Amino acid sequence: MIWASARGCRVIDGEGREYLDLSGGFGVAALGHRNPRVMAAIGEQRVVHALGDLAEAEATVRLRQVLPRPAKLGLSGEDAVEIALRTALLATGKPGIVSFDGAYHGTGLLALAASGLERFRTPFAAWLPGPVYRYPFGDDPGPLPEDAGCVIVEPIQGRAGARVPPAGFLEQLRERCNEAGALLIADEIYCGLGRAGEMLVSGQLADVVCLGKALGGGLPLSAALFRPGLERAWDLGPEDVYTHTHSGTPLACAAALVVLDEVPKLLSQVLRKGEIFAAAGWQGAGLMRARPGDAVRALERGVIVVPAGLENELISATPPLVISDEEIEQALELLEGC
């Protein structure tokens, strides 16, 4: 399938057929495809590319001022995870990683090592770093291994199928990290920025919060947000030892400023619209939902969803947060029996 055009919650393919998009481009298009404010912000930029960590554009500086914590910027969600895991090693000196079954943190080697979906990990097992200690998602892991420098967790698991842990799970992990002198890393790349009805599901619990997907308004941008002072773990000399040519790209940062301004206004609507999915049997929270189904059949009926679940037995709905009630009802009707 080729996407020829997209606007709001609608996508048109190369043959002119229109689809309702319940994927939101993997949750990226939180404000809808080609959001007018986002497109205008991108077009107004006088600098398209600066020098990353050597010289930032004005939009990048303003984004750092708006983000709720000190941040190190990346291009993909996997970048944010990589930064977070490296921060744990730098800050604690301990290489062990505690993670959970069903976790999806990205496909770079370090992020892949922490991921819990075996079908992604198995082909590259010989190259994966560690040690990694994996526990059932939602369970108290107990006292952490002595060499554990961090616990990394999705407050709500995305790729595994909008899995919501029991109440108190994150607080228990915070206690375990305090006991062990480890960092708590919240991977909110999918569930954060309003997707679950809150700006950050982990609140103030985590030492590092990973953001991506929706942050750039459709352009590649991610961020690892640090507990104040933790960013100093990266003071390793005059040269940044983890950077990219396009780090802090001004166009994506300008779009992110719009996202961070608009999403808080939508949170109550996200919770209300999520209840429409819940009433139709979709598990999850807010507009991060999943249920058993067939993504290919859904596409044939004119609805874009994403395969999810531990065995790809589910379909996932992460539509733009601006989706209307009528569009939700139309999509759910088309998906009946899928």
Burial 140-164 (b: 16+ CB within 10 A, else e): ebeebbeebbbbbbbbbbbbbbbbb
- Is the full-model pTM beyond 0.75? yes
Angle (CA) 89 94 97, round 5°: 80
| β-pairing verdict for 18-21 and 10-13 | antiparallel
pLDDT at 314: 98
pLDDT at 54: 86
Name the domain count of the chain. Answer: 1
Distance CA 144, CA 176 (A): 7
**What is the rounded average pLDDT for all residues in the chain?**
97
pLDDT at 321: 98
3-state DSSP of 210-247: EECHHHHECECCEEEEECCCHHHHHCCCCCCCCCCCCC
pLDDT at 142: 98
Residue 99 domain-assigned?
A: yes
Residue 270 domain-assigned?
A: no
Distance CA 115, CA 321 (A): 27
pLDDT at 52: 82
Residue 128 domain-assigned?
A: yes
Residue 135 domain-assigned?
A: yes
Residue 155 domain-assigned?
A: yes
Token pair of 331, please?
A: 């999509």
CB 224 within 8 A of CB 84: yes
- The closest alpha carbon to 132, from 79, 179, 85, 181, belongs to 85
Domain of 151, CATH number, reads 3.40.640.10
Handedness of CA 194, 200, 203, 204 (dihedral sign): negative
pLDDT at 137: 98
Mean pLDDT by 10 residues, the chain (338 residues): 96 97 98 98 95 90 97 97 98 98 97 95 96 98 98 98 98 98 98 98 98 98 98 94 92 98 98 98 98 97 97 97 98 95
CB 104 within 8 A of CB 158: yes
Q: Provide the residue range defining the domain that includes 142.
A: 69-244
Sheet containing strand 10-13, strands side by side: 3-7, 10-13, 18-21, 303-304
One-letter amino acid of 182: A
Residue 238 domain-assigned?
A: yes
CB 154 within 8 A of CB 191: yes
- Residue carrying structure tokens 């994966």: 128
SS3 7: strand
Residue 148 domain-assigned?
A: yes
Beta strands (DSSP E) in 216-330 are 222-226, 283-285, 288-292, 303-304, 306-308, 314-317
Residue 141 domain-assigned?
A: yes
